[in-house]
Copies of this chain bind each other. A is one copy, B any other.
Amino acid sequence: MRNDLERLMEQRGLDGMAVLGSSLRSAALRYLVNGADLGDSWFLAGRGRKRHLVHNPMERDSAAGAGVEMSTPADNDFPALADRSDSIQHAWGRMLGERLKKMGISGSLALYGVADVGLALEVRRTLEDEYGHKVVGDMRLPLTDELRYTKDMHEIEILKGLSKITCEVMGRLRDHLASLKPSGGKLAGPDGSAARIGDLRRIVRMGFAEHGLIQPHGSIIAQGRDAGVPHNHGNDAEEIRPGAPIVVDIFPQDTASGYYYDMTRTFCVGPAPQDLRELFVTVHDAHLAALDTFTLGSLARDYQHAVCDFFESRGHATLRKDDRAEEGYVHSLGHGLGLDLHERPRFSASPMNTDALLPGTVFTVEPGLYYPSRGLGVRLEDVVVAHGDGTFENLTDFPLTLEV
């Protein structure tokens, strides 16, 4: 969390750090500026020093929300630096070097954030070659990822609000599916025309827009064969077919706070065929089993292994056995959720993955089974918070039902 910054810099032997990027691209920046919505900015911190933000002067009102010392590029002599540097990127590196000097920060420095790759490389070069910094890597669990690893009550409240909206929108979609009428072997909407996947996507889009949520990554509303390819977004033109699985995976972002939610249900209009029903029950059981077994401090990868054990025991291939598998269970059990849609903890089965379920972690639980060759895919996804008292709270209050 935010107030661990000083301790984590010390732990990593850093004299200072800089975070590059905009709030839109860099969750680390957005987190450190208290959620302020800023274009390209520079957040600077040094051990025992005041935090500092270099921001666009036109964004001074938003930047003030960061609650730290601020300056503009012009305050840091940027126009003059730009006139005598090889490139704008070089000038930004120098501006950063000059500001760090003013802040009394020298020595080992880490760079974080999300930024133009060329800019990042040139800033590093300039700080090393012209300002004598040692720019060090911070890889396994970068400081800014560790800060965001556990959520405070305020963040959890935001996520609970987003859960309500997301479940409400999922309910609208389900109700629409339930309202479809059979008509000559097809399904027709309220106006009598053929019901299509695009209708569902529109319901979701309009529902979120009403609440001020956007879908920067789009949405997955994918039927049959498409549902069998986990990240296939689905085909709007396709008619909704009775008996086919429709995977609805929606992951909106709150424009006000920047936080994401993430939720998946799999629906089928009318009675589901036997093979789909069996697949659904297996995923459903895996989902409930996972939710039932989380313990505080345990390793996330252990749950990936457990769900692989379970699916393999039911005869399904998994990525653990074959890292090129495209049928069976072909992804991780879940992922951390916050200002990024995918963040720590990770649930990869790799022995390199030592992410643990610490108090305040928030993550998705989303087992799935995929058989594109048979026109089948099923996924069920909720969001869980690990509380300090050892309980795991499921934030997603929506039935796990296949048939509508």
Binding site for B on A (CB under 8 A): 20-21, 24-25, 37, 39, 56-62, 72, 74-75, 79, 82-83, 86-90, 110-118, 120-122, 124-125, 135, 137-140, 142, 205-206, 208-210, 212, 214-218, 226, 229-233, 255, 323-324, 326, 330-331, 350-352
Residue in B79, B111, B112, B118 whose CB lies within 8 Å of A137: B118
Q: A90-B139, A111-B121 are in contact. Are A58 and B230 (CB under 8 A)?
A: yes
Pair B122/A113 contact, Cβ less than 8 Å:
no
Pair B118/A82 contact, Cβ less than 8 Å:
no
Q: List B contacts of A324 (CB < 8 A).
A: 57, 72, 74-75
Pair B89/A139 contact, Cβ less than 8 Å:
yes
Which residue of chain B is the closest to A110 with respect to CB atoms? Answer: B118
What are 26 A-B pairs at a CB distance below 8 A? Answer: A21-B117, A24-B216, A25-B114, A58-B229, A61-B232, A62-B232, A79-B323, A79-B350, A82-B352, A83-B352, A86-B139, A86-B140, A90-B139, A110-B118, A113-B116, A114-B114, A114-B116, A115-B120, A118-B139, A120-B120, A121-B135, A125-B137, A206-B206, A208-B209, A214-B216, A218-B255
Residue in B205, B212, B231 whose CB lies within 8 Å of A39: B231
- Known pairs A120-B121, A205-B212; list 12 more (Cβ under 8 Å): A21-B117, A59-B231, A62-B231, A79-B323, A114-B115, A114-B116, A117-B120, A122-B137, A122-B139, A125-B137, A206-B210, A214-B214
> How far does the Cβ of A335 sit from chain B's closest Cβ, in whole Å?
12
Q: List B contacts of A217 (CB < 8 A).
A: 24
Bound Cα distance from A353 to B271, whole angstroms: 65
Bound Cα distance from A36 to B74, whole angstroms: 38
Pair B140/A87 contact, Cβ less than 8 Å:
yes
Q: List B contacts of A72 (CB < 8 A).
A: 324
Bound Cα distance from A108 to B314, whole angstroms: 51
> How far does the Cβ of A147 sit from chain B's closest Cβ, in whole Å?
14
Interface centre among A25, A112, A140, A226 (most CB of B within 10 A): A25
Q: Which 5 A/B pairs are nearest by Cβ-Cβ distance? A: A87-B139, A209-B209, A58-B231, A58-B230, A74-B323
Residue in B61, B88, B139 whose CB lies within 8 Å of A88: B139
> How far does the Cβ of A310 sit from chain B's closest Cβ, in whole Å?
20
Q: List B contacts of A226 (CB < 8 A).
A: 61
Bound Cα distance from A217 to B118, whole angstroms: 23
Q: List B contacts of A24 (CB < 8 A).
A: 216-217
Q: A83-B351, A118-B112, A121-B120 are in contact. Are A61 and B229 (CB under 8 A)?
A: yes
Pair B350/A57 contact, Cβ less than 8 Å:
no
Bound Cα distance from A125 to B128, whole angstroms: 14
Q: List B contacts of A90 (CB < 8 A).
A: 139
Q: List B contacts of A39 (CB < 8 A).
A: 231
